[in-house]
Structure 1
Amino acid sequence: MKTTYIKTQKIEEIFNDLQTNFGGNLNVSAAEFKLDLNGQFGSGDIRGISLKNGMSYIEFDVDLHDDVVLNISATKNLPIYFAYCAAGSLGHSFGENGKQNILKKYQTGILTCKRAEENNLTFSKDQRTKISLIVVNTTKSENKEGFNLNKKLRNTFFEDNTIHSSIYIGACNLKIGEKIKELNTIRYTGIVRRLMIESIVHMVLAMEIQQREDDMVNAENQTGTLTISEMDTIKEISEFVSNYPENDYTLKMLSRKSGLSNSKLQEGFKLLHNRTVRDFIIHERIKKSEKLIRTTDLNISQVVYSIGFTSRSYFSKIFKQKYNCSPKFYKENQNSIAVTA
């Protein structure tokens, strides 16, 4: 087992320590850090960025050759760690001899700890592990808005200003994983990219806090009867529909393709997308229609039939419900923008 000690909250120093211990190639671009492992200790990459108001985001997507412990010391800034496991699992203990808790696939975890106490994060060897960490230093902020956020988080998770260590592991949540995936699809650069990263990280933070509140109100597991394997299948079916929304789907056909019952399929789609299977299909068709109208020369009727609809009037109705304008107006507006540009 290999142990790496992290005694700082500064993102640059963290990545320098990680590179010293794991090797690999460290790239820095516009204050974003990416460490590509070169195979000596494993494969994959570690990404990170420091955001405003004492907040940072680190993502591990690694497959290591040995069990690895990250020993992270808490600082005077009283950080709260918001974790999400998208693949594999992650062990945690307070100190080397503390009780070991396991964060499993699709679960959220929230950690608070005393000053100078150690968080031990254990990565298992020969297993792809994808973990996202949002670190919030609750005593640090750069402006009044940030101070209010940090103060509220400190008051929420350090009850009555009592500094104590705690770990919360929540129910499975597929929506958080889908939101985190958006970070890896950002193609913009500069200030636009940074604003989008901050927006998504804040949204993930809000979703993790809401997950905790939901679990406190409702002790019943949010995933109902679905197993991890069944949730994986729901994700695969969702991606298939998103890639080919124009196909003539039925609940029976998707149930047969997935191997899940109609009820489990519906349960999974409501959990992941907050929509029924039928509503999700329509949603994906409308998304594709918007892209076709914006990026192709197809007329509205051609768009309607290319995405699997048979009624132009019905298409226009639901398009307007989503985009607050008719498809014709949207297309004309796009053309006018193109001419102006």
Structure 2
Amino acid sequence: MKTIALKSAKIKNIFQQLEGNFGGEIQKDAKEYILEIDNQMGQGLIKGMTFNSGISYLEFDMTFSEDFQLVTETTEETPICFAYCAKGKVAHSFGLDKKKRVLENFQTGILTSKSLQDNVIYFEKNVDIKITLIVVNPIKSETDVKTLNYKLQNLFYKENISENYIYIGSYNLKIAEKIQQLAAVSQKGIVRSLMIESLVQMILALEIEQHSEDMKSANQKTGTLSAWELTSVKELSQFINNYPERNLTVTDLCRKGGLSPSKLQEGFKLMHGRTVIDYIREVRVRKAENLIKNTDLNISEVVYSIGFTSRSYFSKIFKSKYNCSPKQYKAKQMAMAI
């Protein structure tokens, strides 16, 4: 098993060490570092960024060609690490050859450790993994007591002293949706940085919320869905996004995903907070807004291209979401273009 020891907590230094071990080439866009790997070590991307708030994020979207363990040593000022596994699974231990805890697909984890403690993350070969790590650094002075960092210290440290602690949470599909949005950010420069920071903060909020909900109940709220069923719900959601114009029914989706109607509806309420039909309608309206804004299609052409058969019905739900009719929205876009 290959071992990589990270000697620095700074994103720039981390990527230099990863590049030295895995090869590839580092690209930088504003504050974001991206390492693309396509060699005998594996295939995929590693991304990372540090924000002014003292919060950093690191994402592995990789398939490694051999087992390896990533070892990091905390400093005297120990951070709080929030993790979410969007694909595959990884394991963690405090120190080498210690008890391992597994973070599976769609699970969130929160980690704190003692000062100068080794933290080890284990990656298996030939397993597609996607894990997002959000690291919250501790405050360094009395002037920081109103910050999020300070509030999280009070929540996860005992008497302001960190200990070895790991929490593995319930399945959470809402976070998976935010991870997808993070991957879909196509802008460059400062706009990209701001959008990534906003989504990272949203993911952090959802992970804290998940922890709070789990702590209120002795039985974790995983529902009745298995990891395989959750994966199927995620894939069906993506299918709807890719083909909003198709006249999809609950029966069609159940057959495609191998799920019962009750499992399908439960999954969509977990991931999107709405029923299947409501989600299809939401996707279509978002697609329509994009077409009205960015194409020369007239309203009738937009309506039929996204699968609606009634223009009046489309106008009603569009106005409910955007507080104006499709015609008014089109006129505003044309006026702005002029």
What TM-score comes out, normalization by structure 1 length? Answer: 0.94
Q: CA deviation at 1:301?
A: 2.8
Instruction: Quote the offset at 1:312 in angstroms.
Output: 2.5
Q: Look up the match of 2:229.
A: 230
Indicate the SS of the match to 1:45. strand
**SS of equivalent residue, structure 1 residue 160:** coil
CA distance in 2, matches of 1:310, 1:34: 44
1:175 aligns with 2:174: yes
Structure 2 counterpart of 1:8: 8
Shift of 1:106: 1.0
CA distance in 2, matches of 1:319, 1:219: 42
CA distance in 2, matches of 1:115, 1:2: 25
Q: Do structure 1's residue 198 and structure 2's residue 197 form an aligned pair? A: yes
Instruction: Report the more deviating stretch, 253-262 or 23-32.
Output: 23-32
Matched, 1:304 2:296: no
Structure 1: how far apart are the matches of 2:228 and 2:199?
Answer: 27
Higher mean Cα deviation, 179-188 or 305-314?
305-314
Distance 1:89 1:142 in 2: 39
Shift of the 281–196 alpha-carbon distance from structure 1 to 2, 3 Å rule, reads same
- Tell me how far apart the structure 1 counterparts of residues 242 and 309 of structure 2 sit (CA, whole Å): 20
1:118 is the counterpart of 2:118: yes
Report if aligned partners of 2:96, 2:120 keep a CA contact under 8 Å in 1. Answer: yes
1:288 counterpart = 2:287: yes
**Helix, strand or coil: the match of 1:161?**
coil
What is the identity, as a one-letter code, of the residue corresponding to 1:184? A
Report the Cα offset of residue 302 of structure 1. 2.9
Q: Counterpart of 1:328?
A: 327
Aligned ranges 1:48-67 → 2 under 5 Å: 48-67=48-67
Task: Write out the 4+ residue segments of structure 1 that deviate beyond 6 Å after TM superposition.
Answer: none
Shift of the 62–140 alpha-carbon distance from structure 1 to 2, 3 Å rule, reads farther
Aligned 8 A contact 1:8 1:75 in 2: no
Distance 1:81 1:164 in 2: 13
Comparing 211-220 and 196-205, the one that deviates more: 211-220
Kept in 2, the 8 Å contact 1:137–1:150? The answer is yes
Q: Distance in 2 between matches of 1:210 and 1:194?
A: 24
Deviation at 1:142, TM superposition (A): 12
Q: Tell me: CA distance 1:225–1:245, structure 2 relative to 1, closer, same or farther (3 Å).
A: same
Contact 1:53 1:141 in 2 (8 A): no
Instruction: State the TM-score, normalized to the length of structure 2.
Output: 0.94
Amino acid paired to 2:162: I
Counterparts of 1:62 and 1:249, CA distance in 2: 33
Q: In the superposition, relative to structure 1, how do residues 65 and 155 fare at CA in structure 2: closer, same or farther (>3 Å)? A: same
Query: What aligned pairs does 1:45-194 form with structure 2 within 5 A after superposition?
Result: 45-140=45-140, 148-194=147-193
Distance 1:314 1:141, change over 3 A: farther
| Conservation of the 8 A alpha-carbon contact between 2:29 and 2:189 | no
Tell me, in whole angstroms, the C-alpha distance in 2 between the residues paired with 1:21 and 1:266.
45
Q: Deviations over 1:259-315 (max 9, x none)?
A: 211101101111111110110111111111111211222322332233222333322
Amino acid at match of 1:212: H
Please, which runs of 5 or more residues in structure 1 have no aligned partner? Answer: none
Paired AA for residue 122 in structure 2: T
Q: What's 2:241 paired with?
A: 242
Cα pair 2:225 2:263 within 8 Å, conserved: yes
Q: Measure how far apart 1:172 and its partner are.
A: 1.1
Shift of 1:141: 8.2
The letter for the 2-side match of 1:255 is: C
Tell me, yes or no, if the aligned pair for 2:139 and 2:149 is still in contact at 8 Å. Answer: yes
Identity over the aligned pairs, expressed in percent?
52
CA distance in 1 between counterparts of 2:24 and 2:143 reads 37
Q: Is the 8 A contact 1:171 1:215 kept in 2?
A: yes
> Structure 2 counterpart of 1:138, which letter?
P
CA RMSD of aligned residues (A): 1.9
CA-to-partner distance for each residue in 1:37-90, whole Å, 9 max, x for gaps?
242322222111111121111111122222111111112332111111111111
* 3-state SS, counterpart of residue 58 of structure 1: strand
Stretch of structure 1 that moved more, 166-175 or 299-308: 299-308
- Cα gap change, 1:43 to 1:53, in 2 (>3 Å): same
Find the aligned partners of 1:204 and 1:213 in 2 and give their Cα distance: 14
Kept in 1: contact 2:32–2:193 (CA 8 A): no
Q: Secondary structure at the match of 1:130?
A: strand
